[in-house]
Structure 1
Amino acid sequence: MELKQLASFVAVADRLSFVRAAEALHLSQPALSAQIHQLEQDLGVRLLERNRRVVKLTDAGAVFLLEARDLLARAQAAGDRARKAAQGEIGRLRIAFVFSAALEVVPQIVADFRNQHPGVRLDLVNLRTVNQVQGLLDGSLDIGFLRLPTTHPQLNITIIHSEPFAAILPPGHRLAAEAHFALEMLRDEAFVSYGREWAPGYFDATMRMCAQAGFSPHVVQETSEMYTAIALTAVGVGVAIVPRSVLLAHSHKVEVRQLPESLGVSEIGVATRAAEPSKLVQAFVDLARSHRSQEDAVL
């Protein structure tokens, strides 16, 4: 049973005339008759009663007409959806982000993309950088907002956000009121750090900052989440270096000292598979890049 046979049957059933149906379908009458005959052979039932003067539906034909219309409509809808998916108008995107990206970066990009692509389903999940890389490589994710520096030969990564670092100290720390605070003043402090296991590039970057300041930090506690680092700092476990934006959502009281951008900046990138062919993914990345452009213009 083929779609063209269904279309031919519906055309005859609507007009109850092989002549008029053949004209509407731009077919010869013998070709149309052959299609209807083959359809009846495939189904094993007679759909139309016809003679020289009259064409009418059998009981089986009347029932089959409803089903044929439905099948043709669904085939048309499937084709429409396939074309829209190819153009990036509908579909599904699986997107992961590090916690800090959820504060300043991801929400507006997601909101703007939903406004532009209302037919696209967005699945959002909070994942650490190393887990995002794995998800992109194994195909369980389409897009990742991850902490930089991160590189992989099978990924395309574009910087879309950068911000200064801040040093955070326990409440009442002796350096909190220091008029000319500098990172090297923390050389003798215990450090809480976002662990290398979860964001190796970020960990190495903060270690380099300390090395540039002339010391190697004494890390007493690593954590997989930056807000946990803030909480541990608040109760006196140690000091920490974090991107400025993570302080926006914390509820713990800590002392904050801004660090100069000359020491480095914290960056977030949007990552996709290097061989990603999807127009939908590309549309999302293009939007994310435009947000970076707007951010640069403001700065």
Structure 2
Amino acid sequence: MEFRHLRYFLALAEELHYGRAAQRLAISQPPLSVAIQQLEASVGARLFDRDSKGVRLTPAGEAFRASATQLLERAEEACTRAREVQAGEVGRLRLGFVGSTLFNGLPMWLQAFQVRHPRVEIVVVELNSQDQIDALLGQELDLGLVHTDRLPPQLAGQPLYSEPFLACLPAGHPLAAEAEIPLTALSEQPFILFSRRGSPDYHARIVDICHQHGFRPRLQHEGRHWLSVVSMVAQGLGVSIVPAAFQRAGIQGAAFRPLAETIEGSTVFAAWRADGDAVLRQKFLAARDVR
């Protein structure tokens, strides 16, 4: 049995006339007759009676008609959904993000995408950069927003934006009264840094910044998320150097000051599997430009 047999059957069931049904199907009458015979042989029942009075459905044909209609409707639905998935109009996007993106427009970005693509389900999860890389490699994420461009060969990426680093201090710290902070003023302060395991590049980046300005940071504590780092600073446990986005996090007790020196900023990258489906990813990345 083929889907064309079902279409031919339904056309004849509605027209009850071989000539009109054939014309409606844009075929000649003989192929229609052959197709109906093939369908009846496949079903194992006579579906039409044909005599001098015309064509009419048999009881078996009446019963088959409802099922045939449902089968064709479901087949069309399946085809439509497949086309929509291929076009990125429906589907599921699993997105990982680092905490700083929450304060750099990610919520508006998500809203802009959902307005344009309301039938796409977005699942978001906050993970540090290394955990996102692991999840992308394990096909647990479709797209990641990370703080590193040092990606394994299975992954590809592109830079999204950069922001400056700021000194993060307890609000009552003497240096918090300064308009800007020389890096050397932090050389004797206890440091709170992002976990080396969570983002080796980011950890090394802050340490290198300090080394370039003549000191090794006195590492006191580590946090697996930047908000944890800022929260520990707010509790008076040390100082840190953090992306500027976190001054918008609203954490009481933390003060943010520009650094006196000019240093390269913090960059957020999009990362994905090089062999992954590109349609939803491209649509999501494009939505950032229209938010």
TM range (shorter): over 0.9
The answer to whether the 8 Å contact 1:160/1:268 transfers is yes
**Residues 95, 261 of structure 1: CA spacing in aligned structure 2 closer, same or farther, 3 A cutoff?**
farther
The answer to whether the 8 Å contact 1:165/1:261 transfers is no
The answer to whether the 8 Å contact 1:92/1:123 transfers is yes
- 1:6 aligns to what SS in structure 2? helix
**Residues 260, 105 of structure 1: CA spacing in aligned structure 2 closer, same or farther, 3 A cutoff?**
farther
Q: Which amino acid aligns with 1:217?
A: P
Unaligned runs of 5+ residues in structure 1 are: 295-299
Residue number in structure 2 paired with 1:230: 230
**Residues 30, 6 of structure 1: CA spacing in aligned structure 2 closer, same or farther, 3 A cutoff?**
same
Separation (CA, whole Å) in 2 of partners of 1:248 and 1:210: 24
Residue number in structure 2 paired with 1:51: 51
Separation (CA, whole Å) in 1 of partners of 2:133 and 2:258: 30
Q: Does residue 21 of the first structure (1) align with residue 21 of the second (2)? A: yes
Separation (CA, whole Å) in 1 of partners of 2:87 and 2:266: 35
Per-residue deviation, residues 219-271 of structure 1 (Å, max 9, x unmatched): 11111011111121122211111111123124331232222572221111111
Q: Which amino acid aligns with 2:104?
A: E
Alignment map for 1:277-292 (pairs within 5 Å): 277-288=277-288, 290=289
Q: Does residue 216 of the first structure (1) align with residue 216 of the second (2)? A: yes
Q: Which amino acid aligns with 1:278?
A: A
Separation (CA, whole Å) in 1 of partners of 2:211 and 2:159: 24
Alignment map for 1:46-195 (pairs within 5 Å): 46-178=46-178, 181-195=181-195
Per-residue deviation, residues 182-224 of structure 1 (Å, max 9, x unmatched): 1111111111111110011111111111112210101111110
Identity among equivalent pairs (%): 37
**Residues 260, 17 of structure 1: CA spacing in aligned structure 2 closer, same or farther, 3 A cutoff?**
farther
Separation (CA, whole Å) in 1 of partners of 2:80 and 2:125: 30
Separation (CA, whole Å) in 2 of partners of 1:184 and 1:225: 25
Quick check: 276-285 or 71-80, which moved more?
276-285
Q: CA RMSD in A?
A: 2.0
Deviation at 1:121, TM superposition (A): 1.9
Quick check: 276-285 or 166-175, which moved more?
276-285
The answer to whether the 8 Å contact 1:230/1:252 transfers is no
Quick check: 14-23 or 107-116, which moved more?
107-116
**Residues 166, 180 of structure 1: CA spacing in aligned structure 2 closer, same or farther, 3 A cutoff?**
closer
Separation (CA, whole Å) in 2 of partners of 1:157 and 1:278: 12
Separation (CA, whole Å) in 2 of partners of 1:69 and 1:80: 16
**Residues 179, 46 of structure 1: CA spacing in aligned structure 2 closer, same or farther, 3 A cutoff?**
closer
TM-score (norm. length: structure 1):
0.90
The answer to whether the 8 Å contact 1:48/1:57 transfers is yes
The answer to whether the 8 Å contact 2:180/2:258 transfers is no
Deviation at 1:178, TM superposition (A): 3.5
Q: Which amino acid aligns with 1:285?
A: L
Q: Which amino acid aligns with 1:133?
A: I
Residue number in structure 2 paired with 1:297: none
Quick check: 278-287 or 90-99, which moved more?
278-287
Unaligned runs of 5+ residues in structure 2 are: none
TM-score (norm. length: structure 2):
0.92
- 1:73 aligns to what SS in structure 2? helix
Quick check: 277-286 or 161-170, which moved more?
277-286
Q: Does residue 249 of the first structure (1) align with residue 249 of the second (2)? A: yes
The answer to whether the 8 Å contact 1:12/1:21 transfers is yes
**Residues 230, 180 of structure 1: CA spacing in aligned structure 2 closer, same or farther, 3 A cutoff?**
closer
Q: Does residue 276 of the first structure (1) align with residue 276 of the second (2)? A: yes
Quick check: 114-123 or 211-220, which moved more?
114-123
**Residues 134, 80 of structure 1: CA spacing in aligned structure 2 closer, same or farther, 3 A cutoff?**
same
- 2:272 aligns to what SS in structure 1? strand
Structure 1 runs of 4+ off > 3 angstroms?
A: none
The answer to whether the 8 Å contact 1:227/1:250 transfers is no
Deviation at 1:149, TM superposition (A): 4.6
